[in-house]
Amino acid sequence: MPFFKELRRRKTGLKLEKSQDSSTDSNSNGSNGTVPPSKSSSTLNSVYGSSTTTPPSSIQPHQSTPNLAKSKSVTTMTSLPQRPMPLSGVSNRSSYIGLSAPSINGTITPKVPTSAFAPRIVSVSDNSWVHQKVLLVYGQIGEPSEKMLDGTLTVSHHQDNFPATVWPVSDSHFKALVHLTPGPNRLRFDFSSPKVASNNSSLPAHSTCMSINFLPLINSPPLQLVILLGKDSPGVFDAVPERKQREGNDLDTAIRKFRMAAYLWQAFTGEQMFRHSFGRRCFRFEEEWQTGSLTFRDKEMGQMRNEAKVHVIRSDKTVKELRDLDIAQQGDNATRKGELYTIAMEAVKAHFKPVQGQKQYISLLLLDSHWDTKAKTITGHAALGGGSGEVQLAIFGSQALQSYPTSIEEVVPAFSDCTRTNTGFVANDCNESGSNWEAANVGIGAHLHETGHLFGCPHQESGIMLRDYVRFNRTFLCREPYSTRTKSHGLRLCLPKDECGWHRLDALRFKNHPCFRLPTDAPLNPDESLQIWPADNGKVIITAPTGIAFVEIFTNGDDICHAWIEYCNGDAQSGGPPRQIVLTESDLKARLPEDTKAKKLRIKVHSVGQGSQEVEDFALLVKSKNSTVKLPNGQSGFKGCKLGESRQEGSQPEQVILETAHIQTKLLTSIKLYHGFALDGMEFCYEDSTSQLFGNRGGSPGGSEFNFDTRRGEILLGFYLRAGLWIDGIEILTSLGRRSGVYGNPTGGSGHTLIPPRGYSIAGVSGSCGQWVDGFSLIITR
């Protein structure tokens, strides 16, 4: 018995020791035994770059979840991140003299002495998110005000997936184009100069490491790139003999040059939008898996990359027909002006086959443009941009294509090449292309100007949309060469203030353009329209379902806008851009120079949804008797802006003041719509069996009737119209949120929502009618 008692004591002691050891291990660093969940979570954080101590859990034991076993073996299930986290760490400007240089792909950088000559990136901050493959970077070395240095900057790319590129440093300033891959990109910028001591080793002496995250905007419509050829074209472009021998002038070279020019447009535009405080938003390209061309080494090595696709389309016209046509459309007496644009439009429609509601944005290069040395003119060339319907198109000739860079490494040499233009082989376009670098400016920049037109930009008072593209090179260089255009030496130092740019009004248009939308942008109401309502006391009320973006102000005779009002800075927390604003003549004139305030005012209002509405004479709108209506009860009614052109033969003005607007005992019970392929008329029916007719009772016999739920207090709220030259269709909107569906042609014209502004109600309808309704507006009252 004593033996068994002693054995029982020993077993109990062992259990106690094991329990104490287990308790001690659970509070230790996990070196003995299994690491508890809280510790393993910190390990996960070190792997995925999170700064938190506990990763998110999909299932965790809790007192309210009795079905989970409460035992020591419960393991927390962690959910892994949905995408790689941005590379951590602050931008490091370091000197590695005498120390081991860290890998540019590492996430941990050792603490090293800071170098005074490490590159300082000014244009973009560490861990920024961008949306373009080629990013423009601007920065400085040391303090330029104290000591100016020349040298070179070497950019090493993430995981060496793109060859290192070398950029000049001029007076301690540098600009570089950085190639990015989707996701996090760890980059290193190394400065070297014969005037600055180095460590005489292979390690960089003065370096900066930073991370940039590239998120492609694949949910935005792309800008398509197209080269158009005649049906019998050999596929070559104008070039001097030495260029032909050195790099060729065939179709493959044309594609690579056009692609590089397009990436320069993108880098330029993304930087400009950032400077306008609209984020790093930019248009994207349709891309395809192909042999890379953004670095010349890709062609040598056969390296495949995802890069912008250039569509090659052959016209049904011969080269001679295209060139002869262009001669016919030049000059003031041209009889076929614009036909080259029409031919290009037909070719791209046949190639892309756009469907209704699917807009295509296309920038096209006419490869068969040719400098006629005898006629001293460029044939087969047109510079136009715009479009309508489903296709927005810009076209430009290839007369300066030989001067374009073919890869990122050639950008600086191309914009520094002072070789004089040999007009025995190539054109000096507009006498602004006297040297190769100036020809590159005009070719790339003027084509971007036309691309601005396809995005909806008119001519502006400055910037790309004025011809400021003759300074396009300054965006990519810090030192400008001699200019034959100005017959003077270029700038010794090209700072951001010296560069060309997109005008503020261009940036305002781009901010809300479908091609420039960011993932963080709120979804838009599909109705892009806006309405302008004259009101009492000289006010004009403007409403838009998507919000008002900006108002352009013109004085009599102005073709270019010099004054405007912005409403685009509202964020999601403040409700975004306003959906209703009030303007007065004094508000508008306060933004004009003193000597123009007496002139007639014209305004153009733009909605966030890309709709626009113009008022030719602001004073006439608010003061004209045609804008006001006297109601039978003495109240004033106000006519909104009319939809439809009222141009049908025999069209007569019509107006109906609803009896419910001035007789309180009247009750509107239904509306009868008469329609076929357009709206013929509408009849307002009351509870006492009376009615009022606007238009006529044409279309389908008997029409269609929409009844209001009067027992629930449902009333007429407004209308949704499809309108162009006339009123194609109409839909009734009610106070209970019901919609009748469109009566008439639901796809004709464009959509417009007519709902009175806050504080006003519908008093009647006004417009005109011929064979069918060809003019329509609401009459509102307080």
pTM check: above 0.85:
no
- Of the residues 271, 450, 480, 552, only one is catalytic, namely 450
pLDDT confidence of residue 597: 78
| 450 in catalytic set | yes
Mean pLDDT by 10 residues, the chain (782 residues): 50 47 42 38 35 35 35 38 46 44 43 74 95 96 87 92 96 96 95 80 78 93 97 96 95 97 97 95 95 93 95 95 68 60 95 90 96 92 90 96 97 96 93 95 97 96 95 96 93 94 97 92 84 90 93 90 84 70 92 84 93 89 84 90 91 93 92 95 95 93 93 94 94 95 92 92 94 94 90
- Answer for the pair 419, 406: CB distance below 8 angstroms, yes or no: no
d(CA 408, CA 681): 62
Adjacent-strand bridge partners of 119: 141
> What was the pLDDT predicted at 657?
95
Q: Which residues, other chains included, contact 351 with Cβ-Cβ below 8 Å and sequence gap of 6+?
A: 226, 311, 313
Of the candidates 284, 260, 280, the residue with the CA atom closest to the CA atom of residue 271 = 280
For residue 441, the one-letter residue type is: N
206-214 and 636-639 beta bridge pairing: unpaired
- Residue ranges of E strands in 389-523: 391-397
Which tokens go with 748? 């004709």
Q: Which pLDDT value is given to residue 199?
A: 65
How far apart are the C-alpha atoms of 657 and 175, rounded to whole Å? 66
Please give the pLDDT value at position 620: 87
Q: What pLDDT is stored for residue 202 in this prediction?
A: 59
Cα→Cα distances 258→102, 232, 251, 403, Å:
38, 21, 10, 11
pLDDT value at residue 520: 87
Distance CA 249, CA 230 (A): 16
User: Which residue type, as a one-letter code, is found at position 648?
Assistant: Q
The residues, ordered by sequence, that sit 6+ positions from 148 with a Cβ below 8 Å of its Cβ are: 171, 172
In angstroms, the CA 500 to CA 504 distance is: 12
Tokens of 62: 């809790």
Q: Give pLDDT, residue 6.
A: 54
The H or E element spanning position 189 is strand 183-192
